[in-house]
Amino acid sequence: MICKVAFDEIYLDENFEALVQEYGEECSALGVPEPQPDLYRMLEAGGGMQVFGVYEDEKLVGFASVLVYILPHFGRKVASSESVFLSAKNRKCWVGIDLLEEMKEYAKEAGCEKFLFSAPVDSNFAQLLSILYPHISNVYMVDL
């Protein structure tokens, strides 16, 4: 089951820490994430973010967060994936694609013109995105 949730619903879930650990090991170029609850809550309260929880048998097995904002250079409202993650053992059937569809539907309802997804280079998620959507940009990271 995929549903829109408040950030605290996933943050306070007993399985959240294990998911964040798995996410960091698999996806993060910055190491294990250290979620900033106050920032998430502020974005959520201001209408700039929506969180999704993915549940199997009432257990949290994945999450996503969508940021909504105006691109300053173009003056257009867009959405982007802040994070998208499903536990490896729960990547079956169509749940991943269903999650992407839920995220896009939310963005559309929020008045966004485009959705920008990002994924780690050469990841399964990047491969899926390259099948579903056009590749329009690259991001490069430099240590400072």
Q: What element of type H or E holds 24?
A: helix 16-27
Asked if residue 62 belongs to a domain, the reply is yes
pLDDT value for 68: 97
Q: Which residue range forms the structural domain that includes residue 108? A: 2-132
Asked if residue 80 belongs to a domain, the reply is yes
CA distances from 105 to 22, 58, 79, 108, 114 (A): 27, 23, 11, 5, 11
pTM: 0.90
Asked if residue 143 belongs to a domain, the reply is no
Asked if residue 15 belongs to a domain, the reply is yes
**Lookup result for tokens 């964040």:** 20
Q: Domain tally for the chain? A: 1
- Summarize pLDDT for 39-95 with one digit per residue, the tens: 999 999 999 999 999 999 999 999 999 999 999 999 999 999 998 999 888 887 788
The two structure tokens encoding residue 129: 């995105």
Q: Is the pLDDT of residue 32 over 80?
A: no
CA 69 centroid distance within chain: 15
CATH of the domain at 65: 3.40.630.30
Asked if residue 22 belongs to a domain, the reply is yes
Mean pLDDT of the chain: 91
Q: What element of type H or E holds 129?
A: helix 124-132
CA distances from 27 to 58, 78, 118, 123 (A): 25, 23, 11, 8
Q: What element of type H or E holds 84?
A: strand 76-86
Residue among 90, 105, 94, 97 at smallest CA distance from 55: 90
